[in-house]
Amino acid sequence: MKIAVCSDHGGFELKTRLIPFIEELGHEVTDFGCYSDKSVDYPDYAFPMAEAVAAGGYDRGIAVCGTGIGVSICCNKVRGIRCALCGDVLSAELTRKHNDSNVLAMGGRIIGVETAKAITKVWLDTAFDGGRHEGRINKIANYEK
């Protein structure tokens, strides 16, 4: 899969640790920034990354800030994005199975690297269940129109 990633300064370190891990899993990664731990504004990176995913240029996106909250709010403002803030593996699995999330948000100051890797792997490996969940996703898409 083609994966878009972004962070602010609070998520920069975690993002830089996740990129090679995602590539080792066999995915192609594009980094939308930021590119250092110098203070920046998360919307400047989350919006372009989410827009690229929504436009179909990427299969999924991963956004990291200090808590994951700011980037998740930004990403969910973009039509067609279903961003889930996850801090545990079960939530990551269920948001793919039930919500068909296409962006994963995590908090670089909240969870450790190994937890983030486990969350990322499950989120990337889990398919959408469809079925009864499909109608719910369609309701979201129809609302956005």
**Structure confidence by residue, pLDDT tens digits, 107-144:** 999 999 999 999 999 999 999 999 999 999 999 999 99
pLDDT tens digits for 16-29? 999 999 999 999 99
In the residue annotation, 98 being an active-site residue is answered as: yes
Question: Domains of the chain: which residue ranges?
Answer: 2-144
Q: Which of 45, 21, 50 is nearest to 33 (CA)?
A: 45
Whole-angstrom distance, CA of residue 136 vs CA of residue 108: 30
**Active-site residue, from 34, 65, 75, 83:** 65
Residue 113: phi and psi, rounded to 5, are -60, -45
| pLDDT, position 15 | 98
Whole-angstrom distance, CA of residue 47 vs CA of residue 36: 18
Question: Regarding the domain delimited by 2-144, which CATH topology (the fold level of the hierarchy) does it fall under?
Answer: Ribose 5-phosphate Isomerase B; Chain: A, (3.40.1400)
Find residue 3's DSSP bridge partners.
29, 60
Taking the complete model, does pTM exceed 0.95, yes or no? yes
**Active-site residue, from 9, 27, 98, 133:** 98
The model's confidence at residue 57, banded by pLDDT at 50, 70 and 90, is very high
